[in-house]
Amino acid sequence: MIAAQTLPRLSAEAYLAYEQESECRHELVDGYLYAMTGASDRHEEIAANLLALIHAHLVGSGCRVYGANLKIRVGDDFFYPDLFVRCAKERGDPYFKTDPVLVVEVLSPNTQRYDRGDKWLAYQSLAYQSLESLQQYVLVSQDSPRIELLTRMETGWKRSLCDALDASLGLSSIGLELPLTAIYA
């Protein structure tokens, strides 16, 4: 009988060193590496539309939008959202940020359960060293015009849904209304 081997857990510091040398991206969750998969063309089109629209809106505001190659750190875990916005004056670490006000995930069949589940839990759960700066979490379907918006309220998180092309997505965290026709162009 052959004994099963498990990979050792990585510290945050070991992960950051490894990730700088790695040819592919990995998220770190509870000390374990998870390789990031590629995306479909529709996923990339939607993410690019959002990045361009948000970037144009933020010029001169002091806020910045980042794409899928920059990590968010939550405690000792690291995640690669499709895009996020932060509004801090200092730049912070060049390879990860800890204070997003807005996080957007474009859902694919392979990632939607994770984006709605464990990743969302990490971002908002008090038991998980949540991102206190996070004001909105956006889940964008790549297959149909359907966007779930979670907005932080004093009493918790409010969920709203935009599911028609003639609707608009209200991003109060950055003062922007986006028509779904522009997102799904």
Give the tokens for residue 3: 């004994």
**Residue of 103, 97, 72 whose CA lies nearest to 85:** 103
Print the domain residue range for 140: 40-183
Task: Identify whether 66 is part of a domain.
Answer: yes
Query: How many structural domains are present in the chain?
Result: 1
Task: Identify whether 157 is part of a domain.
Answer: yes
What's the first-to-final CA gap in the chain, in angstroms? 56
Overall pTM > 0.85: yes
CATH label of the domain that carries residue 52: 3.90.1570.10
Measured CA to CA, the distance from residue 176 to residue 74 in angstroms comes to: 26
Q: 160-164: long-range contacts (C-beta < 8 A, 24 or more apart)?
A: none
Task: Identify whether 10 is part of a domain.
Answer: no
Measured CA to CA, the distance from residue 126 to residue 106 in angstroms comes to: 24
- Residue 2 has a pLDDT of 46
Task: Identify whether 1 is part of a domain.
Answer: no
Task: Identify whether 30 is part of a domain.
Answer: no
The per-residue pLDDT for range 44-74, each reduced to its tens digit, is: 999 999 999 999 999 999 999 999 999 999 9
